[in-house]
């Protein structure tokens, strides 16, 4: 009986084919918040490039919607698949941390990118931009578009997402400090869905007739809000800005609906995350290191346990065509 | 001899037997194709004990809901609200512990109480106002989820539970994931209730004919109240182990779980019209879905294409439809055969 089982297992390995394939390759698993989101797809673009250069196998899987419980199940799956390193964009800080700690206990190297988990559940966080940098840039740009006065509203992904809350806090702090004549009238969630952002933006405009500006702080929210403004015939009257991807917004930027799109280079974020994860798994990156080198992008600064990607970038009519992601 | 053979055939063609066969085949296939050796020479994938425990761990919550739904569906009813109720009781539990500073035990008792009350609300609307269960629980489905979101303003997440509580969701006790013991206890209790008591018989009777059952002197209202209240209590238990597994209580807990649970019950051979079904069938249904979902995520081809989640949805649907077809097929075959047999003598006469 034992022999039969053993031979079955051996045959299984041969048929499955992963053993010969993966045996010599390091496996890096990357978890997005939602895998259909264009933002994470462009991260994957950079991650794929890095994986190719490094010769590692890249797994990229995530929930089809932003779902914290499913993220945990995927991480647990990766633990039993025996991956070497996991890079996670956390949907919920505390929720994911239990699964990440389990991964660390099983000898898997863990880092986070885009949205952090609890510090003890990962070795490093690839910080795409500080919440302060993002919050301040968004608020400054909104104030510039509104000539420093008037009502504006925020469209966010979910009211619970940790990074969104951080950004909002900084937006509100900047608002209080520098722009006393501006007023935040509402903050609405769009669940990372473009059509929901559109209906929320439409509702915001009808509820607040004096609205001068809509600030969308999740990537599907910007084209969603722009579409709502365009269909309401309020182009130019209600300004749109937000955190988003250049490609999804090009149309609206060129037709004057959206004024500025603020972001970092997401491909670079994915690229850096895979480089850092691989180096972590190989033992070439250790806690306490001050810099890390990522292939063609060169050297990045490490602040404590945060690997810093750099400053946010403002895309507008003049420069948006130079970018394709 | 003839009757004996017939009996064997009946057992073999029974829905539960077919499902057990499907489950075993499914498991062996995943074991065969989903297990491998990694770079460091460690066996990884489906054929590891950790994976098997994960499957058990991940199926406890939906399994509990499916157990709770089995008596409900046996009576010809339905409860769409249990997934939302899981969310609501998780929030109640988290809030009582975090904000009202109750002990974990007290908070759990209160959460179960809220579950029972919520089940009672469903039951009252169904029995006294005679509104169909589908409509009532469709209403409470939104009501309970809305309440959970209102309590947390859609943004508060309760975390930082003590390690002793998280043990229930994340560690092993006596060799099994801790929450599996709760699942086993509830499974045995439900099985005894449905298959070894007069209550169980009355549930099926109600499913066949509520009026007939009433004429037989059974208080249909009381029995219905019992199954819906029990469903509420079990949903609260599921909420507690869900919270312990993830270490967080959030208003979106258990979203969509009611549909997974209904799928498991129906896959297990319980008729959606009531009257027919079994608890062991439900357990097999839960296992078949959990193994499918987890097994797919271990297949190299699925991993390469990063499509575990989409595939598991598709395959669960396909499995359900296949199982339903396979259970109907023998009936169709036997009617076809008996029709042919009844034609045969006539033909000989003519000849």
Block residue for tokens 């206990």: A105
Cα-based distances in Å from B189 to B67, B110, B218, B280 = 10, 22, 22, 12
pLDDT at A10: 47
Mean per-residue pLDDT for B241-261?
91
Q: Is A23 within 8 Å of chain B by CB?
A: yes
| CATH number for the domain whose boundaries are B44-324 | 1.10.3470
Interface test with B, best of A4, A10, A11, A12 (most B CBs within 10 A): A12
The distance of A94 to chain B (nearest Cα, Å) reads 7
Query: Are the C-beta atoms of A147 and A213 separated by less than 8 Å?
Result: no
Q: Which residues of chain A have pLDDT under 50?
A: 1, 9-22
pLDDT at B145: 95
pTM greater than the 0.90 cutoff: no
Q: B296 pLDDT exceeds 80?
A: yes
Q: B312 pLDDT exceeds 90?
A: no
Split at pLDDT 50, 70, 90, the class of B344 is low
With pLDDT > 70 as the criterion, what percentage of chain B qualifies? 95
What is the Cα–Cα distance from A267 to A72, expressed in whole angstroms? 25
pLDDT at B107: 96
Q: Is B52 within 8 Å of chain A by CB?
A: no
- B304 or B138, higher pLDDT: B138
- Pick from B33, B45, B250: CB nearest A160: B250
User: Could you tell me which residues come within 8 angstroms of residue A106 by beta carbon, excluding any fewer than 6 positions away?
Assistant: A79
Judge if ipTM > 0.90: no
Q: Which domains does chain A have, with CATH numbers?
A: 2-128+266-310 (3.40.50.2300), 131-263 (3.40.50.2300)
Split at pLDDT 50, 70, 90, the class of B132 is very high
pLDDT at A171: 95
Mean per-residue pLDDT for B157-164?
88
Per-residue b/e over A154-169, b at no fewer than 16 CB within 10 Å?
Answer: bbbbbbbbbbbebbbe
Q: Is B45 within 8 Å of chain A by CB?
A: yes
What is the Cα–Cα distance from B86 to B67, expressed in whole angstroms? 14
Give contacts of A63 with chain B, Cβ < 8 Å.
Answer: 309
Q: Is A8 within 8 Å of chain B by CB?
A: yes
The distance of A98 to chain B (nearest Cα, Å) reads 7
Q: Return the HEC string of chain A.
A: CHHHHHHHHHHHHHHHCHHHHHCCCCEEEEECCCCCCHHHHHHHHHHHHHHHHHCCEEEECCCCCCCHHHHHHHHHHHHHHCCCEEEECCCCHHHHHHHHHHHHHCCCEEEEECCCCCHHHCCEEEECCCHHHHHHHHHHHHHHHCCCCEEEEEEECCCCCHHHHHHHHHHHHHHHHHCCCEEEEEEEECCCCHHHHHHHHHHHHHHCCCEEEEEECCCCHHHHHHHHHHHCCCECCEEEEEECCHHHHHHHHHCCCEEEEEECCHHHHHHHHHHHHHHHHHCCCCCCCCEEEEHHHEEEEEECCEEECCCCEEECCCCHHHCCC
- Pick from B45, B306, B309: CB nearest A81: B45
Query: Are the C-beta atoms of A300 and A143 separated by less than 8 Å?
Result: no
Give contacts of A163 with chain B, Cβ < 8 Å.
Answer: none
The distance of B15 to chain A (nearest Cα, Å) reads 29
Sign of torsion over alpha carbons A300, A305, A311, A314: positive
Inter-chain contacts counted by CB atoms under 8 A, chains A and B: 125
Give contacts of A98 with chain B, Cβ < 8 Å.
Answer: 166, 170, 245-247
The residue among A82, A87, A102 whose CA lies nearest residue A273 is: A87
What is the Cα–Cα distance from B102 to B162, expressed in whole angstroms? 13
């Amino acid at each position: 009986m034992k022999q039969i089982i053993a031979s079955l297992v051996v045959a299984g390995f041969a048929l499955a084919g992963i053993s010969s394939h993966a045996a010599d390759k390091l496996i890096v698993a990357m978890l997005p918040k939602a895998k259909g989101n264009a933002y994470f797809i462009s991260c994957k673009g950079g991650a794929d490039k890095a994986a190719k250069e490094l010769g590692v196998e890249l797994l990229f899987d995530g929930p089809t919607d932003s779902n914290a419980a499913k993220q945990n199940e995927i991480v647990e799956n990766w633990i039993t698949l025996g991956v070497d390193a996991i890079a996670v964009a956390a949907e919920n800080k505390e929720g994911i941390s239990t699964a990440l700690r389990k991964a660390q206990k099983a000898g898997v190297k863990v880092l986070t990118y885009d949205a952090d988990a609890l510090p003890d559940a990962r070795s490093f966080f690839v910080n795409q931009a500080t919440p302060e940098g993002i919050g301040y840039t968004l608020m400054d740009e909104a104030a510039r578009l509104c000539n420093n006065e008037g009502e504006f509203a925020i469209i966010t992904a979910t009211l619970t997402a940790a990074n969104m809350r951080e950004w909002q806090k900084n937006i509100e702090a900047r608002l209080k400090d520098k722009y006393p004549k501006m007023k935040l009238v509402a903050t609405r969630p769009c669940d990372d869905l473009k059509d929901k952002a559109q209906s929320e933006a439409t509702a915001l405009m009808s509820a607040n007739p004096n609205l001068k500006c809509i600030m969308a702080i999740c990537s599907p929210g910007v084209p969603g809000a722009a579409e709502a403004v365009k269909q309401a015939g309020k182009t130019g009257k209600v300004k749109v800005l937000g955190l988003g991807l250049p490609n999804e917004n090009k149309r609206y930027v060129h037709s004057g609906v959206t004024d500025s799109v603020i972001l970092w280079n997401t491909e670079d974020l994915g690229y850096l995350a895979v480089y850092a994860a691989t180096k972590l798994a190989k033992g070439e990156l250790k806690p306490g290191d001050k810099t890390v080198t990522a292939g063609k992008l060169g050297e990045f600064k490490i602040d404590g346990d945060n690997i810093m990607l750099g400053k946010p970038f403002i895309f507008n009519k003049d420069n948006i065509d130079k970018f394709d992601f | 001899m003839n009757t004996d053979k017939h009996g064997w055939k009946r057992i073999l063609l029974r829905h539960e037997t077919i499902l057990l066969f499907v489950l075993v085949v499914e498991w062996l296939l995943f074991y065969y194709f989903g297990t491998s050796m990694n770079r460091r020479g460690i066996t990884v994938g489906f054929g590891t004990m950790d994976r098997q425990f994960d499957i058990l761990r991940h199926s406890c919550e939906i399994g509990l809901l499916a157990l709770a739904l089995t008596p409900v569906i046996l009576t010809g009813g339905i409860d769409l609200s249990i997934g939302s109720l899981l969310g609501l009781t998780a929030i109640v539990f988290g809030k009582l512990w975090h904000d009202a500073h109750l002990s974990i035990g007290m908070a759990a008792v209160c959460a179960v109480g809220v579950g029972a009350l919520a089940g009672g609300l469903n039951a009252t609307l169904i029995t006294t106002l005679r509104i169909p269960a589908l409509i009532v629980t469709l209403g409470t489905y939104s009501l309970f989820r809305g309440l959970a979101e209102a309590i947390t303003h859609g943004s508060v997440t309760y975390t930082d539970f003590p390690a002793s509580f998280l043990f229930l969701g994340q560690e092993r006790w006596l060799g099994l994931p801790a929450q599996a013991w709760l699942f086993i206890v509830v499974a045995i209790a439900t099985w005894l209730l449905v298959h070894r008591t007069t209550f169980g018989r009355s549930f099926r009777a109600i499913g066949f004919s509520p009026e007939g059952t009433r004429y037989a002197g059974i208080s249909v209202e009381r029995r219905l109240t019992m199954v819906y209240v029990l469903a509420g209590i079990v949903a609260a238990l599921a909420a507690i182990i869900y919270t312990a597994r993830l270490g967080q209580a959030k208003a979106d807990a258990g979203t969509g779980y009611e549909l997974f649970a209904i799928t498991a019950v129906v896959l297990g051979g319980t008729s959606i019209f009531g009257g027919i079904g079994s608890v062991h069938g439900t357990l097999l249904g839960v296992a078949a879905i959990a193994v499918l979902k987890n097994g797919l995520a271990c297949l190299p081809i699925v991993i390469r294409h990063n499509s575990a989640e989409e595939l598991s949805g598709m395959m669960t649907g396909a499995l359900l439809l296949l199982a339903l077809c396979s259970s109907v097929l023998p009936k169709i075959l036997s009617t076809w055969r008996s029709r042919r047999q009844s034609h045969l003598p006539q033909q000989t006469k003519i000849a």
